[in-house]
């Protein structure tokens, strides 16, 4: 089986769980003998390529004298989308990004419709233009490689997947890692919603990362249930000897939130629960690791609640920094309002950290040894945090059995289910 796969990011250059999931899945598929050609908008040269081929879309030159390319270009329309799609930046980061990425490009003459184009590799104000260019690149790539099935990850690559299907006739699988309802609640961006729906409708099969997301796809996008399959995410098994010598430098126990500081992740519920815990035990420290559009609001709320000496903001963490943060943590909390899956609790549990997660998350479907609460129930959230911090038997039980549970959630097992979807779409048998 050969797969042409489209993704918008790839480790170590990631903004969240999407790139991590793409990496784990491609490695898992390789263990089952599946050959993957993975196309990314911009390769930085330091990406791992274990068992698959990485194609840099920025290296692909387009010939607009070719009828197919010219016709497809005419079909593509793009528009600027508001800054809410410049993902998850706090105001200071957005101002810095705007100065560097937008104002700095005013004198440039290159266009996404030139023969050669360098993708930013980011989520900028010209994001939709790059989505259009990426779809054109997909035409060229799809016409020059042999493969059995096309796999497109998340809405940014759906147009590319559709283009590849049109030129090759091969079946298309789209992978839904999140929907516009997760990112924006009921205030959906209609352009993004339409792209998502079109991609799902054009797909031969749709993979969702949880049953929670599967229901949204069926009910809110009108996709037939029989072509939507759930494949839960997994986590990379790793040894952590490098975190054994991590020093906390504080005597208090540490409770950590790690993720984008946005509506979807529920950071405000974490702050309110922290206040309730500190009223019962002032000798606890809370950490909010991440960045996003709600960061300044969270800082102001912490100040209003007079928790400044017990609350820390680290900014965005990645790679080894995440591992070090978990090594210092006594409890990890994910109070997401709407979480299609949520890989971070798995990453915490493999480091022997007990977790508290919202029931409104896909990962809650696969975890037994985690405390689960409704995201809006601040009292229950505070009780769960307090209980793990103060009842040693409870903490040890969740740490021990949680680690064992997560060690069995392997990407190679998830990849086997994805392979079944491929076979279903292509009519092949195992």
Q: pLDDT for 362-399, tens place per residue?
A: 999 999 999 999 999 999 999 999 999 999 999 999 98
One domain, residues 251 and 188: no
Q: How far apart are CA 8 and CA 182, in angstroms?
A: 18
Residue of higher predicted confidence among 128 and 262: 262
First-to-last alpha carbon distance for the chain, in angstroms, is: 10
Question: Residue 292: is its pLDDT beyond 90?
Answer: no
Q: Give the tens place of pLDDT for each residue, 91-141.
A: 455 455 555 555 555 444 467 667 788 887 677 667 788 888 899 899 889
Per-residue CA distances from 320 to 69, 249, 347 (Å): 43, 18, 12
One domain, residues 297 and 201: no
Residue of higher predicted confidence among 64 and 273: 273
* Contact call for residues 133 and 60 (beta carbons, < 8 A): no
Q: Give the tens place of pLDDT for each residue, 22-51.
A: 989 999 999 999 999 999 988 877 777 777
Q: What is the pTM of this model?
A: 0.86
Residue of higher predicted confidence among 333 and 13: 333
Q: What is the pLDDT of residue 307?
A: 97
One domain, residues 247 and 102: no
* Contact call for residues 41 and 6 (beta carbons, < 8 A): no
One domain, residues 205 and 255: no
Q: How far apart are CA 3 and CA 34, in angstroms?
A: 7
Q: What is the mean pLDDT of residues 314-335?
A: 92
Residue with tokens 């997660």: 357
Q: How far apart are CA 401 and CA 397, in angstroms?
A: 6
Domain count, the chain: 2
One domain, residues 120 and 102: yes
DSSP per-residue codes, 319-363: THHHHHHHHH-SEEEE--SSBS--SHHHHHHTTT--EEEESSBGG
Q: Domain range spanning residue 61?
A: 2-233+411-426
Q: What is the pLDDT of residue 318?
A: 81
Q: What is the pLDDT of residue 412?
A: 94
One domain, residues 201 and 290: no
One domain, residues 311 and 347: yes
Q: Cα 338 from chain centroid?
A: 13
Mean pLDDT of the chain: 86
Q: Pick from 391, 399, 394: which is nearest to 350 by CA? A: 399
Q: What is the pLDDT of residue 84?
A: 42
Instruction: Classify residue 377 by burial, with Cβ atoms within 10 Å: 0-12, 13-18, 19+.
Output: middle
Q: How far apart are CA 140 and CA 150, in angstroms?
A: 14
One domain, residues 111 and 254: no
Sign of CA dihedral 402, 408, 409, 410: positive
Residue 80's pLDDT band, with cuts at 50, 70 and 90, is very low
One domain, residues 302 and 337: yes
Q: Give the tens place of pLDDT for each residue, 211-245.
A: 999 999 999 999 999 999 999 999 887 665 455 66
CB proximity list for 114: less than 8 A, separation 6 or greater: none
One domain, residues 340 and 213: no
Residue of higher predicted confidence among 16 and 417: 417
* Contact call for residues 81 and 4 (beta carbons, < 8 A): no
- The two tokens of residue 429 are 């048998």
Q: How far apart are CA 161 and CA 164, in angstroms?
A: 5
Per-residue CA distances from 51 to 27, 37, 44, 319, 324 (Å): 7, 10, 18, 21, 28
Q: How far apart are CA 83 and CA 91, in angstroms?
A: 11
One domain, residues 92 and 111: yes
H and E: helices and strands count for the chain: 15, 13
Q: Give the tens place of pLDDT for each residue, 134-191.
A: 998 998 899 889 999 999 999 999 999 999 999 999 999 999 999 999 888 888 888 8
- Following CA atoms 13, 16, 17, 21 in sequence, which dihedral angle do they give, to the nearest 10 degrees? -20
Percentage of the chain beyond pLDDT 70 is: 85
One domain, residues 226 and 311: no
Other C-beta atoms closer than 10 Å to the C-beta of 379 total: 11
Q: Give the tens place of pLDDT for each residue, 351-361.
A: 899 999 999 99
Sign of CA dihedral 385, 379, 334, 251: negative
Question: Residue 90: is its pLDDT beyond 50?
Answer: no
Residue 76's pLDDT band, with cuts at 50, 70 and 90, is low
- For residue 294, give the CATH number of its domain: 3.40.50.2000
Describe the chain by its helix, strand, coil percentages, rounded to 5.
50, 15, 35
Residue with tokens 């991609």: 199
CB proximity list for 377: less than 8 A, separation 6 or greater: none
């Amino acid at each position: 089986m050969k797969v042409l796969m489209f993704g918008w990011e790839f480790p170590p250059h990631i903004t969240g769980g999407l790139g991590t999931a793409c990496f784990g899945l491609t490695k898992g598929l390789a263990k089952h003998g599946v050959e993957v050609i993975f196309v990314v908008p911009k390769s930085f040269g330091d990406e791992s390529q274990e068992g698959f081929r990485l194609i840099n879309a920025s290296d692909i030159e387009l010939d607009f004298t070719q009828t197919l390319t010219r016709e497809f270009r005419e079909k593509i329309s793009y528009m600027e989308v508001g800054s809410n799609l410049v993902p998850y930046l706090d105001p200071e980061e957005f101002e810095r990004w705007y100065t560097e990425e937008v104002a700095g490009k005013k004198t440039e003459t290159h266009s996404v419709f030139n023969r050669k184009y360098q993708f930013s590799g980011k989520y900028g104000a010209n994001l939709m233009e790059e989505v259009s260019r990426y779809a054109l690149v997909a035409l060229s790539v799809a016409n020059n490689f042999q493969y059995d099935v096309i796999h497109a990850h998340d809405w940014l690559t759906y147009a590319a997947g559709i283009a590849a299907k049109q030129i090759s006739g091969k079946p298309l699988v789209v992978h839904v890692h999140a929907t516009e309802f997760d990112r924006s609640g009921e205030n959906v961006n209609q352009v993004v919603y339409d792209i998502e729906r079109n991609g799902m409708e054009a797909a031969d099969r749709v993979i969702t990362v949880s049953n929670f997301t599967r229901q949204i796809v069926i009910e809110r996008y009108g996709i037939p249930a029989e072509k939507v399959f759930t494949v839960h995410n997994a986590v990379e098994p790793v040894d952590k000897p490098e975190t054994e010598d991590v020093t906390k430098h504080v005597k208090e126990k540490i409770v950590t939130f790690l993720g984008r500081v946005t509506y979807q992740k529920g950071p405000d519920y974490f702050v309110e629960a922290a206040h309730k815990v500190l009223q019962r035990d002032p000798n606890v420290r809370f950490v909010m690791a991440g960045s996003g559009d709600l960061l300044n609001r969270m800082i102001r709320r912490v100040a209003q609640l007079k928790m400044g000496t017990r609350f820390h903001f680290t900014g965005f963490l990645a790679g080894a920094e995440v591992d070090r943060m978990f090594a210092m943590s006594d409890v990890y909390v994910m109070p997401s309002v709407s979480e299609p899956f949520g890989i971070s609790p798995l990453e915490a549990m493999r480091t022997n950290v007990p977790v508290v997660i919202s029931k409104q998350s896909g990962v809650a479907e696969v975890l037994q040894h985690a405390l689960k609460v409704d995201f809006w129930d601040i009292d229950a959230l505070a009780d769960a945090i307090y209980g793990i911090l103060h009842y040693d038997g409870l903490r040890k039980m969740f740490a021990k059995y949680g680690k064992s549970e997560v060690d069995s959630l392997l990407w190679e097992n998830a990849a086997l289910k994805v392979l079944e979807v491929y076979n279903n779409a292509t009519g092949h048998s195992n």
